[in-house]
């Protein structure tokens, strides 16, 4: 446990100094937002065993509500963030109450159908701006002191948001509540026989996952000063599944690595894509164009065929095998 805490602290320190070594802050903030989104999804699939195809609804809902609250209602930035998270949690409560009545593929299809309903609502609603999206969202200030219009200030706020979300997930997984969720994933009938109200635990996990996904969406709105339909599409729900599987399903750090890999491959648009590729040391990514989806698909196939546990999962399994071999008496 102490070794893990030191690892997380080292990761935080490394990320904190990245802007001072030439890494583009917007790129890292985008990775952190998607990493939190993937970690929130992993809490539901990796630790509870519930496959949702509609998690983009929570990301998009929080993005729109936060943007509208700050731009139109004139709320302070911190209240706009809370409004977005609250809206995502409320939507999660409604969707979860319907979806948890079924399991397996039926649960996944219900979440997909409900997510598509939310998408078409955003497409037709006036306050979202339709296909143009909600543009020009002011970043404002944090607590009336920190000017978030400066990228560096916002960078550390987004890092703090990610750290808070990650800590909530870590604490949840390592709590008695988290142990029940793992039991649900492994053997639901046995968990029922032990006297647990599995539907209540599923709903709590669903709402918590939705709220954390909403936190990622709210932060993303501040980073890009906009909220668009792409945040609520079914493709986004598929992308977060991809991030989680590439990094490692059921691991705490796997979705973070998966988000980094996917976002790195997707940054290929215009001069910004070239700049990001150079700053991250992989210039050839900038010339892939739309073919980047083929590369992502190939990586996904390789991970499924050769790394069934994901990158982090396979590394962890390798370390465990070596420890067992070392501890084995000669």
Contacts of the segment 183-191: beta carbons below 8 A, 24+ positions apart: 184/48, 184/49, 185/47, 185/48, 185/49, 186/49, 188/49, 188/103
Structure confidence at residue 194 (pLDDT): 85
Q: Which of 240, 231, 235, 287 is nearest to 263 (CA)?
A: 240
How does pLDDT run across 254-284, given as a tens digit for each residue?
Answer: 889 888 888 887 764 333 444 445 555 455 5
C-alpha pair distances (Å), 153 with each of 65, 162, 306:
23, 15, 41
Is the predicted pLDDT of residue 330 greater than 60, yes or no?
Answer: no
* Structure-token pair, residue 164: 């808070």
Residue whose structure tokens are 């195809």 = 53
Q: What is the mean pLDDT of residues 15-43?
A: 89
Share of the chain above pLDDT 90, in %: 36
Please tell me the predicted confidence (pLDDT) of residue 286.
52
Q: Is the pLDDT of residue 32 over 70?
A: yes
Q: Which helix (H) or strand (E) holds 165?
A: helix 151-173
- Which range has highest mean pLDDT (66-70, 147-151, 306-310)? 66-70
For residues 118 and 91, is the Cβ–Cβ distance under 8 A?
Answer: yes
- Does the pLDDT value for residue 27 go beyond 60? yes
Q: Which of 147-151, 236-240, 295-299 is least confident?
A: 295-299
* Displacement of CA 71 from its chain's centroid (Å): 24
Asked if 55 and 213 touch (Cβ cutoff 8 Å), the reply is yes
- pTM confidence score: 0.88
Identify which of 32, 31, 12 has the alpha carbon closest to the alpha carbon of residue 276: 31
What is the secondary structure of 238-253 as a DSSP string?
A: HHHHHHHHHH-TT-SS
Contact 310, 302 (CB under 8 A): no
Angle at the Cα of 118 from the Cα atoms of 117 and 123, rounded to 5 degrees: 95
CA distance 232 to 123: 10
pLDDT at 289: 56
Longest dimension (CA), the chain: 72
Residue that has been written with the tokens 């465990």 in this structure: 320
Spatial CA neighbour of 21 closest among 239, 232, 281: 281
| Mean pLDDT, range 7-24, rounded to an integer | 84
pLDDT tens, 58-80? 999 999 999 999 988 888 999 99
| CATH class of the 23-327 domain in this structure | mainly alpha
């Amino acid at each position: 446990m102490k070794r893990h805490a030191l690892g997380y602290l080292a990761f935080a320190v490394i990320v904190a100094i990245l802007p001072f070594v030439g890494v583009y802050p917007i790129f890292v903030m985008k990775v952190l937002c998607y990493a939190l989104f993937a970690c929130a999804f992993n809490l539901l699939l990796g630790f509870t065993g519930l496959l949702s195809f509609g998690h983009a609804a929570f990301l998009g809902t929080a993005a729109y509500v936060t943007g509208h609250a700050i731009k139109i209602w004139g709320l302070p930035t911190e209240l706009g963030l809370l409004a977005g998270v609250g809206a995502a949690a409320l939507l999660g409560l409604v969707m979860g109450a319907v979806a948890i009545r079924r399991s397996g593929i039926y649960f996944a299809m219900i979440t997909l159908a409900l997510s598509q309903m939310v998408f078409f609502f955003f497409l037709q609603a006036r306050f979202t701006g339709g296909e143009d999206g909600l543009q020009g969202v002011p970043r404002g200030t944090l607590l009336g002191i920190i000017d978030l219009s400066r990228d560096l200030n916002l960078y550390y706020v987004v890092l703090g948001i990610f750290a808070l979300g990650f800590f909530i997930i870590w604490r949840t997984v390592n709590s008695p509540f988290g142990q029940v969720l793992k039991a649900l994933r492994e053997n639901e009938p046995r968990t029922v026989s032990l006297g647990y109200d599995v539907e209540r635990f599923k709903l709590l996990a669903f709402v918590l996952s939705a709220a954390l996904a909403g936190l990622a969406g709210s932060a993303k709105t501040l980073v890009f000063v906009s909220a668009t339909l792409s945040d609520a599409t079914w493709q986004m729900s598929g992308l977060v599944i991809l991030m989680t599987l590439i990094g490692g399903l059921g691991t705490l750090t796997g979705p973070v690595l998966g988000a980094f890999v996917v976002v790195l491959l997707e940054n290929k648009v215009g001069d910004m894509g070239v700049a990001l590729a150079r700053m991250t040391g992989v210039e050839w990514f900038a010339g892939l164009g739309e073919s980047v989806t083929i590369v992502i698909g190939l990586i996904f196939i390789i991970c499924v065929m050769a790394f069934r546990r994901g990158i982090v999962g396979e590394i962890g399994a390798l370390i465990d095998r070596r420890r067992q071999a070392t501890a084995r008496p000669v």
